[in-house]
Amino acid sequence: MTALSARVDAPAAVPTVGEALTRAAERWPDADAVVYPERRHTYAELLARSRLAARSLAGLGIGPGERIGILMPNCLEFLEVFFGAHLAGIVPVTVNARYKPKELRHVVTDAELAALVTTDLVAEYVPFVDLLGRAFADGTPPRLRTRVLLGASSPEGYVDQAAWDGAAHAVDPATVAARGARVRADDIAVIMYTSGTTSSPRGCPLTHGALMRTADCVAERFALTERERFWDPLPLFHMAGLLPTLANVLRGGATLSMTHIDAGTALRQLVEERATFAYPAFPTITQSLIHHPGFASADLSRIRAVLDTAPADTLRQVQAAFPQAKVVGSYGLTEAGGVITYSHLDDPLELRVTTAGRPFPGMRVAIVDPVTEQECPAGVTGEIRVSGPGMFTGYLNDPETTAARTDPRGRLRTGDLGSVDESGRITYTGRLKDMLKVGGENVAAAETEAHLAQHPAVKIAAVVGVPDPRLQEVPVAFVELVPGHDVTEEDLIAHCRGELARFKVPRRVWFVTEWPMSTTKIQKFRLREQAAERVRGETR
């Protein structure tokens, strides 16, 4: 390793997704595999249900190598269909349950889905059948042969629960098992769509080798065992939900999750299920727990680690709220297997909150000046470039974008800014596009956000640029306050003055209670649009 990059030798071979579940059920049959507030599966139960799902898919005529979409919130059925697809040699495409009709049609068409499996479990909140009806108002995509609705409903045009169950019993288990046995490490394990800021979502295919190597690295970095009770409420259609689940399968631990993220329910689950690891991952979730009235009295003493991604000062606050645990951060993206690195549990607090640790085995990270294309010295900020065994195979049906985001040395241009220190630890500092140009000065939105977050009344802050006739653009901030706190725009601007250079101080602060979100991240481009519209409205 040099001061310019970070690299660790590759890990040993890992099982395919289907093999991992089969081995877990053989080794820990009666152990909890996945736990929801009202329902749970042991590993033996999850394997049995997944085998039935595999037979159902085969019975409906879905062949080896074909793709099926899974459009569901977090639930046991999601995992049954996901693992069932693997056991039948079928490729699952996880579909964002928050997508609107236009996005749904794009994914179904782009991924060339042969079948789409959804549920009426949350029909009162998200009517998937209605959404799909609007998505296909101009006709069903030609490759989509089958639509399945699991649950109590039987709408026209869908295979209902009874027919789904019946399809399984018409198929010889040995035939399906033979299909699953032919799956290899270099076959595609999952296609997950990532949302861009200016284009339709792009499919990111990951092989079994890439996905399960990364899951194994997660298990190693966190020292997971069969005794783990790992709370992760994040969506299974996102790597932040799927990857830890697979890591626990490799080690026999239990994944605790929920269909709807609710702080009160989450605290009860953390206590009643004796959680040992908390993976809220995003400040919106972490802060909702900490500021819930029941947090102070909740017995969370078994939690040994908490994963969150936030500025260092916010992570220090999280550490104070969970004094018995080790707070750690992370860095990653779907194209690189979801996660490239987590902070090391045995690092001192300052390293855990200011860096994301060293890259996983085999992953290579370099910091490159995006203008000169030269690698940056240790501690100097540049674009994070990534390569290694956890990488995706390239954007689905989009070789042009794949080529544009690959540098001459075969590394992915992440569009993220960061640095690598002398020990190889990575520090993420923001998005390349989050750099504002204020009167010729470069301003990192993350720096101003971190300073705003130091104010005791601020729960979350997001800084974007708005056009300015004199300075090209100037920073403005959107802020969500901690419940029960009151502060003015002038107070927060004054909080920044004297501590930050004048060109870094937000010109306006707007208070919000809701954020435009992708799966897990605030959509800055939406905030830029809102900010520009607000400024235009104020100048009319």
Q: What DSSP string runs through 261-277?
A: --HHHHHHHHHHTT-SE
In sequence order, the 6+-apart residues with CB closer than 8 A to the CB of 393 are 188, 205, 206, 207
Does one domain contain both 238 and 119? no
Q: Confidence band (pLDDT; 50, 70, 90) for 1? A: very low
pLDDT of 197 strictly over 50: no
**Pairing outcome for strands 364-368 and 5-7:** antiparallel
Q: What is the DSSP letter of 433?
A: G
- 16-30, 209-223, 376-390, 462-476: least confident range: 462-476
Helix (H) or strand (E) holding 109: helix 101-110
201 in any annotated domain:
no
188 in any annotated domain:
no
Hey, what long-range contacts does 265-269 have (CB within 8 A, 24 or more apart)?
265/37, 266/231, 266/233, 267/292, 267/294, 267/295, 267/298, 268/37, 269/35, 269/37, 269/231
Does one domain contain both 419 and 449? no
pLDDT tens across 40-56, in order? 999 999 999 999 999 99
Cα–Cα distance for residue pair 335/387, rounded to 1 Å: 10
pLDDT tens across 26-35, in order? 999 999 999 9
Confidence at residue 3, expressed as pLDDT on a 0 to 100 scale: 37
- 99-103, 206-210, 348-352, 473-477: least confident range: 99-103
Does one domain contain both 401 and 478? no
Joined tokens for residue 398: 């989009």
Does one domain contain both 423 and 443? no
255 in any annotated domain:
yes
Q: Which residue in 135, 48, 139, 65 sits closest to 95, CA to CA? A: 135
Supply the mean pLDDT for the chain: 93
pLDDT of 202 strictly over 90: yes
pLDDT tens across 67-102, in order? 999 999 999 999 999 999 999 999 999 999 988 898
195 in any annotated domain:
no
In sequence order, the 6+-apart residues with CB closer than 8 A to the CB of 171 are 55, 56, 58, 59
190 in any annotated domain:
no
pLDDT of 196 strictly over 90: no
User: How far is it between the farthest Cα atoms of the chain?
Assistant: 73
67 in any annotated domain:
yes
Backbone angles phi, psi at 86, to 5 degrees: -65, -40
Confidence at residue 500, expressed as pLDDT on a 0 to 100 scale: 87
Hey, what long-range contacts does 26-30 have (CB within 8 A, 24 or more apart)?
27/252, 28/226, 28/252
Between 87 and 502, whose confidence is greater? 87
Helices 445-453/489-496 angle, 10° precision: 110
In the chain, the number of structural domains is: 3
Please identify, among 124, 151, 183, the residue that sits at the C-terminal boundary of a domain: 183
pLDDT of 536 strictly over 60: yes
Over range 301-326, report the average pLDDT.
95
Cα–Cα distance for residue pair 69/117, rounded to 1 Å: 6
pLDDT of 501 strictly over 90: no
pLDDT tens across 269-291, in order? 999 999 999 999 988 899 999 99
pTM: 0.86
pLDDT of 117 strictly over 70: yes
The helix/strand/coil state of 63 is coil
202 in any annotated domain:
no
Q: Confidence band (pLDDT; 50, 70, 90) for 216? A: very high
75 in any annotated domain:
yes
Q: Confidence band (pLDDT; 50, 70, 90) for 198? A: very low
Distance of CA 105 to the CA centre of its chain: 22
- 7-21, 117-131, 134-148, 494-508: least confident range: 7-21
Does one domain contain both 148 and 230? no
Rg (CA), the chain: 23
Strand-pair partners of 202: 194
Confidence at residue 410, expressed as pLDDT on a 0 to 100 scale: 97
Amino acid at 249: V
Over range 198-209, report the average pLDDT.
87
Cα–Cα distance for residue pair 397/54, rounded to 1 Å: 27
Contact yes or no for 273/256 (Cβ under 8 A): yes
Joined tokens for residue 386: 């990534």
* Cα-based torsion angle of the residue sequence 492, 494, 497, 502 in order, rounded to the nearest 10 degrees: 80
* Cα-based torsion angle of the residue sequence 250, 255, 258, 262 in order, rounded to the nearest 10 degrees: -130
Does one domain contain both 376 and 502? no
Q: What is the DSSP letter of 393?
A: S
Q: Confidence band (pLDDT; 50, 70, 90) for 6? A: low
In sequence order, the 6+-apart residues with CB closer than 8 A to the CB of 232 are 240, 241, 244, 245, 255, 256, 257, 279, 281
Confidence at residue 64, expressed as pLDDT on a 0 to 100 scale: 98
CATH number at residue 467: 3.30.300.30
Contact yes or no for 77/121 (Cβ under 8 A): yes
Q: Which residue in 260, 263, 267 sits closest to 288, CA to CA? A: 263
Q: What is the DSSP letter of 1?
A: -
Does one domain contain both 291 and 411? yes
pLDDT of 293 strictly over 60: yes
Q: Confidence band (pLDDT; 50, 70, 90) for 313? A: confident
Does one domain contain both 334 and 446? no
Cα–Cα distance for residue pair 92/86, rounded to 1 Å: 8
Does one domain contain both 293 and 247? yes
In sequence order, the 6+-apart residues with CB closer than 8 A to the CB of 245 are 34, 79, 232, 236, 255, 257
Confidence at residue 2, expressed as pLDDT on a 0 to 100 scale: 39
Owning domain of residue 268? 5-11+207-431
